[in-house]
Chain A
Amino acid sequence: MNKPLSTVRLGCGAGFSSDRLGPAVDLAQRGALDYLVFECLGERTMAFGHRDRMLNPTRGFNPQLGARMRGVLAHCHANGTKIITNMGVANPRAAALLVIDIARELGLHGLKVACVEGDDVSHLIGPDTAFMDHPGTVKDVGLRMVGANVYMGVEALLPALRAGADVVVAGRVADPTLFLSPLVHRFGWALDDWAALGQGTLAGHLMECGMQITGGYFADPGYKDVPRLADCGFPIAEVQPDGSFVITKLDDTGGCVTRATVKEQLLYEVHDPAAYLTPDVTANFSRVGITEVGPDRVRVTGGNGSVRPDKLKVTIGFDGGFLGEGGVSYAGPNARARAELAAEVVRERLTRINQLGGDPRIDLIGLNSLHQTAEVPVSDSADIRLHVALRSTEREDVDTMLWEVESLLCCGPAGGGGYRGQVTPCVVTHSALIDRDRVSPTFEVFTA
């Protein structure tokens, strides 16, 4: 414990549930990392996890957990890299046991895997629980609640790190916390050192979306070119004991780390840059300094913070029924008029003939779709796809809509082809606040 503090190297091995595996294996193998973090848990991903767990009590964690661990575990073990992840989703215990099984398969006997629990606060949520950011309560939603999870902070992960866990599997903790926790653990920052926690949260915030800081979600050919985007690498943060850090990536991977990629990610999903709320700190990103110090090396300083919020955010998930989406395409002369006629026919069939409840949305892809409500001028295309979408708690309504769209092939305007249709299960999420002192994180360590 007396050895001098040195740089901590953090890697991000996933920035969302379906992120790539190969670049994470590269980092595990050649990143010389202290910690490899997998952030795989959106609000809706959690609700789907609860649904999976209801169907099968041994499931409910990230479906790619096994593949990811088989890819990185042996490398991390060989290189002394610890793994931190929220891939436990709605079932961190079952997830940790799967990691144990894989460690044994790989002959990594003695590997310590911790599961972190306490984020499931379903028992604290009732019909009268009020929402955080809009009027209404749980009972007003009128849908079946599937689970409720609180965003936990560093106190949830620190005990597992202190117990020497090689892999820490959690469910809901704040995304930047996954990165801040090892910094607090290694540098011994106090949990009321708001400036340090603010700067560490800045590192976590920049890292948590993976490639969004190394060239992903960024390229705009001719304006913002990204080299070898198909081979884009995941990011590395080299963090100093004072919290300042350099964002970089492996030299031989594609992508880029520049002031521009860092700036865009700095305010990604941020509202007031001077008050970014996490369970750990009210972080202030308003005076951040960003400097290129070498090729694909950007130094970031100036994150700050003030006292953490008293209340913690809870995401409440509900079963949202079904989303149906179906489409038919029209191309060549007069395609627009034929597609517009198809849209009229579908609307009339759904509302007048079938008297379907709900409000279907009809887009003409190629003419305008994503920005239809924004009413931007339509583009002129001779290759247009009718796209119809409907949500319903009744599967039958969604199936009826798809049947009507498919029937356009023989019953609609001339030259319509390429019908595809799909039904996907939906979840609905709302947020509430609870007092911090009602949350008690726990952990348990298993040994392979």
Chain B
Amino acid sequence: MSQRTIHDIAHARAGDKGNTSNVSVWVYDPKDYPLLKRTLTAERIKLAFPKLLTGSVMRYEMDDLHGLNFVMQDALEGGVNTSLNLDSHGKSFSYLILGMPIEA
């Protein structure tokens, strides 16, 4: 049986501004929020994708709504201006994070 991923407990949406990507991650069940907060840190995300995430990663916490917002600077290979990635907006980055194992 494969390892459980963030995708099993949370949903997410990606947005972009220039060369900055943000991904908000929301647990389905509020009971999983402490787990998400403990396991999905900004440092862990930055270390997971070192070639992609060349800038800082900030985490904002939405405790009332049980979600985390990650803001990743210099994460879009130049952004829509210069990126040659088919997904130059990083729309698929939500699933990059959701694909991470729950436990580091």
The listed residue (B13, B80, B92) touching A267 by CB distance below 8 A is: B13
A120 at the interface (CB under 8 A from B): no
Q: How many residues of A contact B (CB 8 A)?
A: 49
How does the 8 Å CB contact mask read for A62-84 relative to B, with 1 for contact and 0 for none?
00000000000000000000000
B26 at the interface (CB under 8 A from A): yes
Q: Which one of A289, A369, A373, A428 has the highest number of Cβ atoms from chain B below 10 Å of its Cβ?
A: A373
By beta carbon, the residue of chain B nearest A359 is: B84
Within the assembled complex, what's the spacing in Å between the Cα atoms of A123 and B86? 35
A375 at the interface (CB under 8 A from B): yes
Please tell me if the beta carbons of A370 and B92 are within 8 angstroms of each other in the complex. yes
Q: List CB contacts (< 8 Å) of A224-277 with chain B.
A: 224, 260, 263-274
- Supposing A268-B13, A271-B20 touch, asked if A223 and B82 sit within 8 A by C-beta, the answer is no
Q: List CB contacts (< 8 Å) of B38-71 with chain A.
A: 49, 51-52, 58, 60, 62, 64-65, 67, 69, 71
Give chain B residues whose Cβ lies under 8 Å from the Cβ of A273. Answer: 60, 62, 69
A133 at the interface (CB under 8 A from B): yes
How far is the CB of B32 from the nearest CB of chain A, in Å? 14
Give chain A residues whose Cβ lies under 8 Å from the Cβ of B13. Answer: 217-218, 264-265, 267-268
Within the assembled complex, what's the spacing in Å between the Cα atoms of A374 and B100? 12
A220 at the interface (CB under 8 A from B): yes
How far is the CB of B2 from the nearest CB of chain A, in Å? 12
How far is the CB of B90 from the nearest CB of chain A, in Å? 9
B87 at the interface (CB under 8 A from A): yes
Please tell me if the beta carbons of B99 and A373 are within 8 angstroms of each other in the complex. no
Q: Which one of A264, A363, A365 has the highest number of Cβ atoms from chain B below 10 Å of its Cβ?
A: A264
Please tell me if the beta carbons of A371 and B65 are within 8 angstroms of each other in the complex. no
Give chain A residues whose Cβ lies under 8 Å from the Cβ of B19. Answer: 134
A389 at the interface (CB under 8 A from B): yes
Within the assembled complex, what's the spacing in Å between the Cα atoms of A375 and B53? 11
The listed residue (B16, B22, B67) touching A263 by CB distance below 8 A is: B67
Please tell me if the beta carbons of A220 and B86 are within 8 angstroms of each other in the complex. no
How does the 8 Å CB contact mask read for B1-45 relative to A, with 1 for contact and 0 for none?
000000100011101111110101010100000000000000000
Give chain B residues whose Cβ lies under 8 Å from the Cβ of A11. Answer: none
Within the assembled complex, what's the spacing in Å between the Cα atoms of A391 and B85? 11
- Supposing A263-B65, A371-B92, A374-B49 touch, asked if A44 and B15 sit within 8 A by C-beta, the answer is no
Given pairs A286-B60, A288-B65, 9 additional interface contacts (CB within 8 A): A260-B28, A264-B11, A266-B65, A271-B17, A320-B81, A363-B86, A365-B86, A376-B96, A387-B86
Closest 5 CB pairs of A and B: A269-B15, A361-B84, A267-B24, A264-B13, A389-B84
